[in-house]
Structure 1
Amino acid sequence: MTQTVKIGKLAMLLASLSEEELLPFASSLEKVEYCQGKAGSMEIQKVIAAVETAAKRNELISEDVYRETHALYHAILESLEGVMRGQLGVGDMMRTVGLRFAVVRGEPYDRPGEGEWIAVAFYGTIGAPVKGLEHETFGLGINHI
């Protein structure tokens, strides 16, 4: 079974590259639905809400279909575990994040029965809430819809 579209790879590229740097991937991006955004906070709930709001506004998920919101939520949490090295917390741990994110929805398998999947990637910084004391971070989460 070969993957036709690597939604995780595309999500990572969308979260981390500029528009100009994404040009070589234009044909792959035409095969999926996606959105991008930014989130910065000392509150994890605000980061989650920013991604969920972007996905709904860009019609990547339907508000009326619970399994779509549920799949997105789990992809966000998995991605945040990478960003935060498994410790889901920011402000209560005296750290803050400044992140770019991407959400990609597509069919990564040749077999139609495998259905649609959703990927969430974050790229940015995490660290003490003092400018200049943060470092780069990356996270990726993928879930079936």
Structure 2
Amino acid sequence: MYSFVAISVILSFTPAFGKPGPFSLSGSSYTAAVYEHHFILDQKHHAPLSRAEALQHMQKNLDVYEPQAAQAAQQGAQILVFPEYGLNGFNFTRTSISGYLETIPDPEEEHWNPCTDPQRHSNTEVLHTLSCMARRHSLYLVANMGDLFSLL
């Protein structure tokens, strides 16, 4: 049996082997940016989509995110928060959300950088894209996405 949960994923360019990220958690402050946009909804919003169709839809929103991450980094941001539901929209049913869900391993149980090791887990294409975006722009990113996991 599988279940899903919408979670916010915080990605950094910090490799799993412990090099420092763009800002220190022990520092007294950091610069944050928040980006809001009218996300692109799929035309068949309530109909179930294949994984390929869902990825194609989410890529349209990721294409909007990329220049925003570059601009935030150029303006000195260290962390960028993307909008809730910004990748896929909202009001899904349990069936219609399935193509959008990705495997997001528990960072407490596994050290993994999706950008540098994209083949370790299946169904992590969006996580890979966001991780590489964070790495490319030396940012922490916060993005809302659906997680698929086994209850067994």
TM above 0.5: no
Pairwise TM-score range, normalised by the shorter structure: under 0.3
Structure that is richer in strand per residue: 1
Greater relative contact order (Cα 8 A, min sep 6): structure 1 or 2? 2
Structure that is richer in helix per residue: 1
| TM-score (normalizing by structure 1) | 0.28
| TM-score (normalizing by structure 2) | 0.27
